[in-house]
Amino acid sequence: MKKRNVLLKICSLLLFLGYFSGLFTASSAYAQEDILTITQNAGYQTNEFYKPKASIVIEAQTGQVLWEDNPDLKWNPASIAKLMSVYLVFEAMEQGKFTLDTTVKATDNDQAISQIYELSNNTIVSGVDYPVRDLLYATLVQSSNVATVMLANLVTANDEAKFIHMMNDKAKELGMTNSTFYNCSGAETGSFNGYYKPEGIDQNADNVTTARDLAILSYHLLKNYPDTVTFTSPTQITIMENTPYAEVLENHNYSLPGLAYGYEGADGLKTGSSPTGGFNYAATAKREDTRLIEIVLGVGNWEDQEGELQRHAFGNAIFDRAFATYEYKKLLSKGNNTVNQEEIILDQDFYGVLQRNTEPAFNLSADKLTVETGLTSVSPTIKAPSSNFKYAKKLKALQNSTLLKNVKKKNGLSTFFVNGLLIILGLLFMALAKLFRKEPIEASSSKKFSPIFALGILFILAGVVLSIYTVVVGPWI
C-alpha cells in the first residue's frame, strides 16, 4: 500500500512538472517568434535572405513601443533621411519664413542635379519657379534629391553646410541619440558631381541612424506637423499643373491602398534604399483611433531588387500584429470617475494604449493619473500618458471649508455692524436723556436718576464688549 501511494505521488509530480514545462516551452516559443516567422505566418512569401536587420513599431499618440527587434542598430537610412529635411521645412513655415505657395527659382545647379541618372529625381528646369508645395510632393512622393536640396537651400538661404548642422541639432533636440547626418537627402554628397557640396562636411559619408531614432523623428513629425500625410499619402500626383512643366509623380510606398502591397489605413511615410543600406521603410497607418508608426531597416541587399517589395511584406505583417494586439482609446471620461476605489474628478478625457480585451490598471500618484501597460516609451523624452485629477472627497472638503470661511467672513461683518449699531444706539439714548432732562425750579444738590441715560450706557457697554468678543473669539451671530 505504501509503495502504491509513493508511485501515485511520483506520477502526480511528473505530470505537474510536465504541464508547467509545456507551458514554459510554449511561452518561450512565442517569445522567440521573430519577424520572419510573423511575416510568413501572415501569408507572405519570404525567406531568411530578406529578413530585416532592425525594426520597431510604436503607437503614434503616446510613443509607446509595441514591437522592436534590434532597434538600436546603427544603419544608413538612405532616403528616409529626407524626413528630417521635411521636418525643418515645416518648422521654417511654422516660424513664418515662407509658405506652401512660396516659389523657389531653379538654378543651373538644380537642373544639373535633376539630370544625374544615378539619383532619384524629378525634372527641374533652370529659371522656372517651383512652389514649395510641389517640391514637398516631389521630395516625399518621388523621393527627389534635387527637390530636397532646393527646399534645404530655401530654409538656409543657400547655406548648404548650415542645413546639415541644423539637421544634427534637431536630431539631438528630439532625442535621436544615435543619429548623424552628412547630407540632406540620403544620397552621399559625392554622388552629386560637385553640384551640391556642403562646406566642411565629409563628402563620402553615409547618414547614420537607428530604427528607434527614425521612429522618434516620425513621432514628432506627425505630432507637430500632422499635414505631413497630405504629402505622403498620394499614390500618384501631378505637380506644376497647368504649366509647360507639369509632371506626374509615382509613389514608391507600395503599402499605400491600391498599390501592390496595399494596407488598410496606410498613408505614409517614406521609403529609402541604397547600396550600403539595402531597402528601408518608414510607415504609418491609422485604423479607427489608433495610429501606428513603424520602421523597417536593411531588407535584402542592393543587388536583389526584390527587397523593394519585401520590405512592405515585413512592414504589413508587424502592423497586423500590433493592430491586432493593441488599441488606442478613451479609458476614462472627463468628470467624476471611480479609480482604485477612490472617487476622482478628471480635468479632461483620458486616453491611452491598451492590450485588446483587457481592463486598464490605473495608478494614482500625487495629482497624476497614469495607466499600467507594461510598455516602454520609444524615448525618455516622451512621457507616458497622464492626466491631472482631484480627489472628490478632498475637493468637497475644500469647497466646504471655503464656504465656511466665506460664511464666517460674512457673519463677522454682520456682527461688527450690529455691535456698531448698539454703540450708536447707546450714544443716541444718552443724547436724548440730556435733551429731555427737566431742570428743577430750585437748585438741588443731587441729580435725578435718568433710566434713558442708563440704558444708553448699557447699549454702549454691550457694543464694546461684543466687539472685543468678536475680535478674540469670533462672530457671536
Q: How far apart are CA 296 and CA 309, in angstroms?
A: 12
Q: Which three cell numbers stand for residue 405?
A: 470661511
Q: Is the dihedral of CA 74, 231, 187, 95 positive or negative?
A: negative
- Cβ neighbours, 10 Å, residue 191: 17
State how beta strands 278-287 and 368-372 pair.
Answer: unpaired
Contact in structure between 270 and 140 (CB atoms under 8 Å)? yes
Q: Is the peptide bond before 249 cis (omega within 30 degrees of 0)?
A: no
Question: Per the residue annotation, which of 55, 79, 114, 387 is the catalytic one?
Answer: 79
- Exposure class string for 209-223: b at 16+ Cβ within 10 A, else e: bbbbbbbbbbbbbbe
447 is annotated as an active-site residue: no
Question: Per the residue annotation, which of 51, 55, 82, 233 is the catalytic one?
Answer: 82
Question: Per the residue annotation, which of 85, 114, 120, 143 is the catalytic one?
Answer: 143
Q: How far apart are CA 100 and CA 61, in angstroms?
A: 26
Contact in structure between 281 and 307 (CB atoms under 8 Å)? no
Contact in structure between 60 and 293 (CB atoms under 8 Å)? yes
DSSP code of residue 477? -
Q: How far apart are CA 352 and CA 333, in angstroms?
A: 12
- Return the half-sphere exposure (C-beta side, CA atoms, 13 A cut-off) of residue 165: 9
At CA 69, angle to CA 65 and CA 73, rounded to 5? 105
Q: Where are the alpha helices (DSSP H) in 225-306?
A: 228-232
Q: Give the list of residues 6+ apart from residue 392 with CB closer than 8 angstroms, or none.
A: 336, 343, 344, 345
Q: Is 288 exposed, middle or buried (0-12, 13-18, 19+ CB in 10 A)?
A: exposed
Q: Is 453 exposed, middle or buried (0-12, 13-18, 19+ CB in 10 A)?
A: middle
In the numeric block, the cell 528607434 is attached to 212
Rg (CA), the chain: 39
143 is annotated as an active-site residue: yes
Question: Among 319, 269, 288, 246, which Cα is nearest to 80's?
Answer: 269
386 is annotated as an active-site residue: no
- 330 in a labelled binding site: no
Contact in structure between 181 and 214 (CB atoms under 8 Å)? no
Catalytic positions are 79, 82, 143
Annotated binding-site positions for substrate: 270
Annotated binding-site positions: 270
